Structure 1
């Protein structure tokens, strides 16, 4: 009778040590992020909401913030997922100028009147 419990204990030790011997898969840290600043033609808080939302849908974008007074859009992104050129294009397709690149004509026409460059209020 004394042999059976020690045999059982030895078996449990072998099973548990086998479970701990498995290699754990660790996530490797992804590539570092990059930041790009784009001078936009955005003029109001509606523009801010529109641009930040559009950037949130872009693959690889970690964060996007528009400073309305300076019209600077700061985008933090993963370079393995997107590029500064792709983000510039995304801003244009949203209807805003990006640095020296003019906005997409059709997208610009869809903007509310308060967001257009020709609005006298701004």
Structure 2
């Protein structure tokens, strides 16, 4: 009987640890404003966006959807949080949900990518 109780306890304990491990990776969809139809390919803006997104500590991967004007970000919650990511996107010159594009970052974008 004691062995059965230990096995059940161990099973619950293992499940709890596994559940915590999976929560450290998150996915967020951030609404943005993209003014051109070629931001991903744009030599200046696209390259800058690519390199800066991957410099954000904890960001594992991202997908820029120009058609739906969203950025899907996959990140590690133990290394960063959503507000930090949104702030970094704003500094690049793009809106990130409720955070408006930083004026300095916006000024560095090509004219085709700036808001009118």
The verdict on a shared fold, with TM-score over 0.5 as the criterion, is yes
Structure 2: gaps (5+ residues): 1-20
What is the CA deviation profile of residues 2-35 of structure 1, one whole-angstrom value per residue up to 9, with x for unaligned ones? Answer: xxxxxxxxxxxxxxxxxxxxxxxxxxx7863101
- Matched residues in 2 for 1:49 and 1:72: separation? 17
Q: How many residues align?
A: 90
Unaligned 5+ segments in structure 1 are 1-28
Cα RMSD after superposing both structures: 1.8
* Mapped partners of 1:35, 1:105: distance in 2: 27
Larger Rg: 1
Structure 2: how far apart are the matches of 1:96 and 1:80? Answer: 25
Does the aligned pair in 2 maintain the 1:41–1:71 contact within 8 Å?
Answer: yes
Structure 2-normalised TM-score? 0.69
State the structure with bigger RCO (CA 8 A, min sep 6), 1 or 2: 2
Q: TM-score, structure 1 length as denominator?
A: 0.66
Name the structure with the higher helix share: 2
2 CA distance for matches of 1:98 and 1:53? Answer: 17
| Shift >2 Å, 4+ stretches | 29-32, 42-53
